[in-house]
Amino acid sequence: MVFDSDLIFILGLIFGVLAIPSIVSAFSERRAPRVASLVLMAGGVMVVWAIQNKPGGYQIEDIPDVLVRVVARFI
């Protein structure tokens, strides 16, 4: 399996989106969101790495196309 910038970018976005409900849940239960914070930071690092390693970077309107390309590669 090849880890290219598109795959890392999509995984980082998914990690970031999935960490948000966990952070909200932790705050509502009055506990520290340790694991969720680490997942959110890892997702952010992945997105930044992917943007820096792709020539030209990513635009907001490119995200759906990138998601389809990554999913199509595995189907």
* pLDDT single digits (tens) 5-38: 999 999 999 999 999 999 999 999 999 999 999 9
Specify the pTM. Answer: 0.88
12, 26, 37, 44, 52 from 58: Cα distances, Å: 13, 32, 24, 14, 9
So what's the pLDDT on residue 1? Answer: 52
Domain count, the chain: 1
Express each pLDDT in 43-61 by its tens digit: 999 999 999 999 888 999 9
| Confidence class for position 2, pLDDT limits 50, 70, 90 | low
Domain residues for 62?
5-74
So what's the pLDDT on residue 43? Answer: 97
Ranges of beta strands (E only) in 1-75 are: none
Q: Which helix (H) or strand (E) holds 51?
A: helix 34-53
